Amino acid sequence: MTLTFKPLETYRDDFSFANSAEAIARFPFPFPEDQYMYSVNLEPATSRDPGSVFEHLFDVDEHYVSEMAERARVLELDPQRCLVMPHMAQAAWDSVALLMESLATDYPEHFRLTRAGTAWHWQNLALGIDQRFTFGDPATLPCEPLEYITRQMQGDFALLDQRDNDLFMDAGMVTCPADWSLRFDAGMSFQQWHTPVPMAHRAGVFERALKYLLNIQVGQPVRRLNWTLTINPRLDTSPETYHEWGNDRGKVSADNAGKLVHLRVELQLMVRLPRSNALMFSIRTYLISLDELVSNPAWARRMYRVIRDLPGPIADYKGISRYRQPLLDWLRPFDPDA
């Protein structure tokens, strides 16, 4: 499949973002059943389903150029969305190597990497970047290494330091979060930054997940899907910008839900980094409006049933409760058995 990029779209103001028919077809619909309950749902991150979001370790799609422009905009407004604690410098270089190697291997028509020892030459043809640098020497890059490479990657990235039988969020680039903040979570342990999630703690989900993640080996990445709903195709739904988007939830009606409400799916990837032993946690976000989603009748029917039967605490946590009824009113006609 030839990868082509759409003209510049917006994730704020006039919200010109939209999916092509091809993007809709490859959207990672997250519900294998008619009901949803929080689960770990980890699987090996092996290549499968050519053309899908699971083909490559890091997925690049038609919205690449637009997302990179949005990231640059967020960083211009708030440079602290990228944070690297001093002891995470090696993990940052680990990330440079992994991300450049992956892009150059999987998308050679858009990304190229040549190496001669520590002398590296990186070309990002999509963004017009041509950079020669010395691997391991931050002075040879225009900005800090993690910021440099993640300014060219779709999705958010957290680098987790493993110590004391736990994982700590000690570095990251987070400009498109689903209502969480790197600035707030920085330095927290795995259990601490998951404290707000309801019901899962009672079920012991996070204890099992942490044990699993601590044992991830180099060369054995894993992935999972997570989801929520977002009003408008807004990538940056961070606490820092809540004043810009919080009131949007009150605008949903049974007439406009198809246009306003977007299913937001995160393809979460966990990769052990070889030099630093840190764990890379990448969060690749996909957005689809309900108008687009219901072009698939099976998705439309299941979406109605999932939202209808979603436990109250989970609906509250995901911010859905405020507009759940008008959303169900809009979705109901797509379920013939409703």
Check the CA dihedral 82-84-89-95 and report its sign: negative
Q: Write the DSSP string, 205-230.
A: HHHHHHHHHHTPPTT--EEEEEEEEE
Active site residue 224: yes
C-alpha to C-alpha distance for 32 and 30, rounded to whole angstroms: 7
Strands of the sheet with 119-124, listed across from one edge: 111-116, 119-124, 129-134
Helices 324-331 and 297-309: angle between axes, nearest 10 degrees: 150
224, 249, 322, 324: the catalytic one is 224
Is the distance from CB of 165 to CB of 214 less than 8 angstroms?
A: yes
Structure tokens that stand for 330 in this block: 């809009």
Look at the alpha carbons of 168, 173, 179, 183 in this order and tell me if their dihedral is positive or negative.
Answer: positive
DSSP secondary structure code for residue 188 in this structure:
-
CA–CA gap between residue 203 and residue 196 (Å, rounded): 14
Catalytic residue IDs: 224
